[in-house]
Structure 1
């Protein structure tokens, strides 16, 4: 029978739950293909050109989650609202599903402010500079449910040219 751990070592066994876990995705936006979808898809190459870059970092620690999105080579002087979505990116922008909600609204699409708000959804706005580079980050006091969140979707935002403000212009598959 193995000897029990000394009492001084027991706190070390709890250490992994206190150490942050980070997932990083670095890739380029590409066309949505039907055979093997890329990690990052552009649905509007005028705003998010093929070959533009994206980096997504997701950090989890003790019931909290933070997300950072960095982009370069995209439309200059633009605001891209971004949200975590329940589905994966696909050839059709709608396959990414609705916004992920910590407490899911039973009515979808969710417009009820009791569910569709900054405390219950991961919301970011990437604002780009004159070179088309931008960064945004957000944090929430909860963790994503296993398999419940699968992508970050960038919406058209402002200025809205040929795209409406709710149009999905790009998507990045992320393992949350």
Structure 2
């Protein structure tokens, strides 16, 4: 199903996981405040027990307290991209790194590949060069949870996504993102991953 809104055709997607209680994946055309938007919701399922068709994987059960979920919204309008993230059920009073990645999630944490980059590093993928690995060229959504395990983040970019070049997943990491040369973009082990469907 394609919906032409501006330059990029985007959909609202309620992306349920088996066992997540959200129901099957259901793309729905939508416009939010005049801008094209994609909304993805997922309840994370332990990767070791994830059934076929799972789109939100949990790799580190110690990072959550009970059922954990996320909602990601990507909104593109006139060359500007705004991404918002809200999570629930994660360990309280803790900082996590979060980035949009280039490939869809899978049961192996490495399945999501490296970070999505607006201007990809021609020398390496994944890259450790701060010229490419930075919050202006990538979409970073680090968050700190409150006492109830809720966290949220917003990232805004002065560039848009195109049908041929856009992120495929959200990856949550065990620690806040580092920025030094050689380790730029690193945020520890991958805790959870949610596939973005368009």
TM range (shorter): 0.7 to 0.9
Q: 5+ unaligned residues in a row in structure 1: which ranges?
A: 1-15, 159-163
Q: Deviations over 1:102-127 (max 9, x none)?
A: 01002122111111111110011111
User: For the residues of structure 1 that align with 2:187 and 2:142, how far apart are their CA atoms?
Assistant: 12
Q: Provide TM-score, normalisation by structure 2.
A: 0.72
CA shift, 1:78, in A, is: 0.8
User: For the residues of structure 2 that align with 1:150 and 1:43, how far apart are their CA atoms?
Assistant: 18
The reply to whether residue 29 of structure 1 matches residue 44 of structure 2 is: yes
User: For the residues of structure 2 that align with 1:37 and 1:79, how far apart are their CA atoms?
Assistant: 29
CA shift, 1:67, in A, is: 1.0
- The residue number in structure 2 matching 1:6 is none
- The residue number in structure 2 matching 1:139 is 156
Q: Which structure has the highest helix share of the two?
A: 1
User: For the residues of structure 1 that align with 2:50 and 2:132, how far apart are their CA atoms?
Assistant: 33
The reply to whether residue 56 of structure 1 matches residue 45 of structure 2 is: no
RMSD value over aligned CA atoms? Answer: 2.2
- Larger gyration radius, structure 1 or structure 2: 1
The reply to whether residue 81 of structure 1 matches residue 106 of structure 2 is: no
Q: SS of the counterpart of 2:6?
A: helix
For residues 23-172 of structure 1, the aligned pairs below 5 Å read 23-32=38-47, 36-48=52-64, 51-106=67-122, 107-148=124-165, 149-157=167-175, 165-172=187-194
Q: CA 1:175 to 1:139, structure 2 compared with 1: closer, same or farther past 3 Å? A: farther
CA shift, 1:40, in A, is: 1.4
Aligned length: 157
Preserved contact between residue 50 and residue 57 of structure 2 (Cα < 8 Å): no
Preserved contact between residue 86 and residue 151 of structure 1 (Cα < 8 Å): yes
Preserved contact between residue 76 and residue 161 of structure 2 (Cα < 8 Å): no
Q: Provide TM-score, normalisation by structure 1.
A: 0.80
Q: 5+ unaligned residues in a row in structure 2: which ranges?
A: 8-33, 177-185
User: For the residues of structure 2 that align with 1:29 and 1:50, how far apart are their CA atoms?
Assistant: 10
Moved more, 81-90 or 46-55: 46-55
User: For the residues of structure 1 that align with 2:159 and 2:142, how far apart are their CA atoms?
Assistant: 20
